[in-house]
Structure 1
């Protein structure tokens, strides 16, 4: 998968793409990163890419002709051209999984007061990390690069490890433990130290449900809950009415033991 990142500060991203899993995946040919300096397409000897905004106001705006020339320099047309902007669609795991299906993404990182609005006609989508403003798009690009690249085959060792992650499973992740088994009077739950894999899976699912209920209850409505999940949520404090509001199925019915009929003495 190829990422072409257009920025005024390519050196901010270079170490990020050369270290850890991203760097190793690039060395193995699984990922490729083009960090492209927008100043190379300024069209003037001062390498000036911005200008004062029409109508007045503070700050400077990156010119649309610079962005267009940079994008048109690519040898192949990207599958997606993404403008990183606070006005964009909020980035989430579902979007990361969609983008991971592509082979070539181009990212436009703004600075100053952002890009000329006509740049929006050059992109396929606008993306935001959340409801806050940073000094440029490089940090947002780094987050998108890692979130998308880790979903590509071979980038991380075990694909199932990301499928069980927070948001990929529809819930927040369950708590994890490792050695030592006891630390400062805090012990690893006994169920995790046994060999009952079915009990471990149920424990993990129940803890994920509890965490999601406590921290992100809004996720429950789209989590694909089972009757067993509903029972766990009722035990965790969710009411039957709230359970119905998130569209959860009813919990399993408790089986009633039939009282055997009294024996009739033989006459």
Structure 2
């Protein structure tokens, strides 16, 4: 996957070179280019914004700067053609974790390309982080993990002139997207969030594909609690069922914990999934019937 990011603060995107994303870059799974929007600004001051038409507070980012930038990134022309491909921050360790699986072929999500009937599926996907966009979800992360080229347009101030997105539809599949009902200073943080959510789902990025198959929201539920050694810590015990060796009961218990956590914190999600008789029994009881003696209370 190739990711291009356009921003007036390119150094803000440095986390893309670290940790899991950095390892994906090393593996050749991910290719990242970050572009300084001011390369397309003209004049002595390289201004990228101007006062809003009709008056009002703040400044709006100019179409005659963003338009050429998006043109060049889509076609790898101009300054975009000479942008450096980012390297990872440092070599990552290659030791194999205990849960990494051998002998399997990584496979991605069997999802159709995010494309309307009037869009060309071969065009890059342009993601514009904005509070006015559609909510970003795990389902979108799964779909977008199959893309070959994603471009992020990081706005600032009062946003980007709306005509930029209308014009960009000639060269991109444009999606305005929000990571939550709040306002950030700019689109860079949202770009980091969306990129990490997408890239970790690309086949081979995680050592064990079950790491994301069991994520919160992957099956419509929040993920249940996790435990590790030591068996007892500060007077608190790991639930005994996790040492039972009965994997069917353990799987059922984990499913029940996910159901109970979802009911407590996000009950709205339960209406979107199909519940089995076992699921309904757990919700009616308010605890997992698999192991009544080790249920969280309150």
Q: TM-score range by the shorter chain?
A: 0.7 to 0.9
Given candidates 264, 268, 279, the residue that maps to 1:218 is 268
1:22 Cα deviation after fit: 0.3
Which residue is equivalent to 2:58? Answer: 59
Which residue is equivalent to 1:175? Answer: 225
Q: Residues of 2 paired with 1:126 and 1:150: CA distance?
A: 21
Q: Residues of 1 paired with 2:250 and 2:58: CA distance?
A: 56
Q: Residues of 2 paired with 1:78 and 1:111: CA distance?
A: 25
Which residue is equivalent to 1:208? Answer: 258
Unaligned runs of 5+ in 2: 77-121, 288-298
Q: Give the number of aligned pairs.
A: 236
8 Å contact from structure 1 (residues 78, 106) kept in 2:
no
Which residue is equivalent to 1:6? Answer: 6
1:143 Cα deviation after fit: 0.3
Q: Residues of 1 paired with 2:42 and 2:70: CA distance?
A: 14
> Which string of whole-angstrom CA distances, capped at 9 and with x for unpartnered residues, describes residues 61-91 of structure 1?
1111211111111236752111111110011
Using structure 2 for the length normalisation, give the TM-score: 0.76
Which residue is equivalent to 1:110? Answer: 155
More off after superposition, 75-84 vs 145-154: 75-84
> Which string of whole-angstrom CA distances, capped at 9 and with x for unpartnered residues, describes residues 193-232 of structure 1?
1211111001101111100111101111122221211111
Which residue is equivalent to 1:194? Answer: 244
- The structure 1 segments of at least 4 consecutive aligned residues displaced by more than 6 Å after TM superposition are none
Which residue is equivalent to 1:163? Answer: 213
Q: Indicate the structure (1 or 2) with the bigger Cα radius of gyration.
A: 1
CA distance 1:233–1:207, change in 2 (3 Å) = same
Secondary structure of the equivalent of 1:73? helix
Q: Residues of 2 paired with 1:169 and 1:161: CA distance?
A: 13
Given candidates 177, 197, 200, the residue that maps to 1:150 is 200
Q: Residues of 2 paired with 1:9 and 1:202: CA distance?
A: 48
Which residue is equivalent to 1:258? Answer: none
Q: Residues of 1 paired with 2:141 and 2:263: CA distance?
A: 24
